[in-house]
Structure 1
């Protein structure tokens, strides 16, 4: 996938990942790793929505897309939680090494699901700006 939107998606994801990874590393020292992962995941959804509407797909935010956007990440979350558990609890790998595996393996699927959602629910950016 070399579409401009995919490249922007990867860049936005890198920014979001850096922010949430840093938060994960801080939280995992005082919370169980699965709880730290869960909290940073929820925060990451908010960051991702803003980046995806404005930068990646260049659409305006709408109540409909905002309410549906987390659904994309429910599947990704369950996938990530399972992989995190398998790698850390069953495989004995450090949570710091498990997280990048979770992130990298979920990127293509998440892009396709997000693109599909944004095409169906978001307001084109020009229309959103005209409403202001």
Structure 2
């Protein structure tokens, strides 16, 4: 699979992840305070995003190592978009309503490369690292 297809699949997973988060958030706010709804929806959508990224974007096997490293992509996104919004608004004078969109666009290549590195790093031969379907031999 070419990198171009991976980028397109990565973007599609991002759209699905955002829609999943927002739908869960709206559903959970019917019963929970908005902060609790946000945290739960964020965590659930990140787990879903991990599996979509693993199977759909990179067509690789999920492992515990990848699962535990995957949140780094969200952390990188947060740092880049936060710095980007600050730079665009306070330094460049851009309207704060549009700055997050540009900052998010700037974060996409970095989060793509980081997720690609996490997902495509060669796996170890230990089957116990797998999250799905394999049973370690006795």
With normalisation by structure 2, the TM-score equals 0.61
CA distance in 2 between counterparts of 1:84 and 1:60 reads 35
Q: 1:2-46 CA distances to partner (integer Å, 9 max, x unpaired)?
A: 62111111111111123335667897xx86xxx79x846555432
Q: Is the 8 A contact 2:13 2:57 kept in 1?
A: yes
Computed over aligned residues only, the root mean square deviation of the Cα atoms, in angstroms, reads 3.9
Going from structure 1 to structure 2, the CA distance change for 1:45 and 1:81 (only over 3 Å counts) comes to: farther
With normalisation by structure 1, the TM-score equals 0.63
Higher relative contact order (CA 8 A, sep 6+): 1
Q: Name structure 1 gaps, 5 residues minimum.
A: none
CA distance in 1 between counterparts of 2:6 and 2:17 reads 16
CA distance in 2 between counterparts of 1:24 and 1:88 reads 28
CA distance in 1 between counterparts of 2:72 and 2:6 reads 20
Between 62-71 and 80-89, the greater mean CA deviation after superposition: 80-89
Pair 1:82 & 2:87 matched: no
Larger Rg: 2
What corresponds to 1:114 in structure 2?
115
What corresponds to 1:55 in structure 2?
56
